[in-house]
Structure 1
């Protein structure tokens, strides 16, 4: 697609809306099951046949579906990603009844955020991001979306660091436990702690117990703006820091530094501005602000925040998915000075 056509698509705003409609209606799954004509698809999805044919033609012109015969549709490599259970989890992200739709609404309020200088999500939905999503029971849940996303990169994190040198790891804002489960599965003496909101911790506890690792796992429900479990060999923050503004991010890192021993290691995993595709990272940067007031950062900006929290930079490893793993140790001359953070006090 040429730049002119890309601009025209972006200006119209219709393509993402049509794609979300197809995902919500599970159109790809119906086609995969053999319901490949407009009339059959309309019957299965409870939609108007004439308008559905227009939407499918619109998407077929853009390669989402194929139309081998008039009025008959097939999957392409693009629509395969819309199938239920696809590793990308794209169908759930696009489902209009789930958490993704609430996030989309905040993205649509970019003009309001520009004028107010405040995140859109709490203003639109009446509650801070994590508090609101924890209360949403319809549609694909945010924790399941986080889980699918974590599964896409966890094997690369395992390969990026010598985890076998640790005996106890605290995963700060660790979601449903994808990383800690993988670590315990790989290293049979490693003990882990996971801190997050109650819903994520409950999901992590259940699946880790089912995997047979419950005796080496400690769940902690709480806020990472409060004191953290102390004395671990390693503290991990995976896709956590970018959710918060500088003051809040510094407060989280100080809590980690306070909790660690003099020889503890702190591992921050983020997608950094100076190591990422500009189109992808600028989009994520806007989303982080619109949802939470957060921001994407350069390596230097992240090192500066960590240094102010008493951490000394050691090294950085880039993983194949484009995530950077930054390793820090406690700076020996540092003494904690804790300041209250502004925010809802919720983990990532």
Structure 2
């Protein structure tokens, strides 16, 4: 969904004003880009197109025969809010009008300006068209090809959203997709912004596809390096039931280890699953790509001088030493 707000005194109902079969336009003559749904696996048989239509054609060709994950979502947005495409359009227009909805001020102009003021540096993009990213008060403060942009995103496994406004052009773009993780939201947003600005589009699809393929190759290299470090043929030092129990950390909470038949299972703050013995007294968590879960996380069990398993060291934070959970004092003896 892309929309050009126009000046407050020259807005018009573009969809109603457009003659039948014509593309709706704003009062300033700019096209109103309507939201579209595109079925997965469908191949357009029309000649090759450019712009947003071309991006959809190419995306369909790349994903033909692939099926998106069908996930049952029981998650709500921040504060339990539900918002539609129309709601996002209203919010973008409110930001462009410095907090006003029609003649009614919902936020002061000063508050909206402070929301879009860079306050904390986040990162520098590898792409020259974007540059540095900062965080304001609830908004990403960035630049795209010379235009100052304010944006925010949201995602979970199976869906993603990205809302972007360009104050200098009085334009906003919101992309909602049920295929994630991926770069769809950025690709479509950049294509819409280029079209609104009348610029020659950047081939973000090909650029990010190349990077994605390189990342997949690197993943295989990293996985091989990880498995090469595994000490094959080793066994746990204790019987499996001796690892079971509750282990605590004052900041990271409680890890529960259960002995289930011929394997161990873990549970920590909603993450759970069977553990795989890696080598010696190290076990790893399962790979669960469709849920929020620390995949292939190494749990190293340690024991005291009496030979009793009493700690688990977990690399939750890559920049610090392993986080050590200690067996709870009231946990049953093995």
Q: TM-score range by the shorter chain?
A: under 0.3
Q: Which has the higher strand share?
A: 2
TM-score, length of structure 2 as denominator length: 0.23
Between the two structures, name the one with larger relative contact order (CA 8 Å, sep ≥ 6): 1
TM-score, length of structure 1 as denominator length: 0.23
Q: Which has the higher helix share?
A: 1
Q: Which has the larger radius of gyration?
A: 2
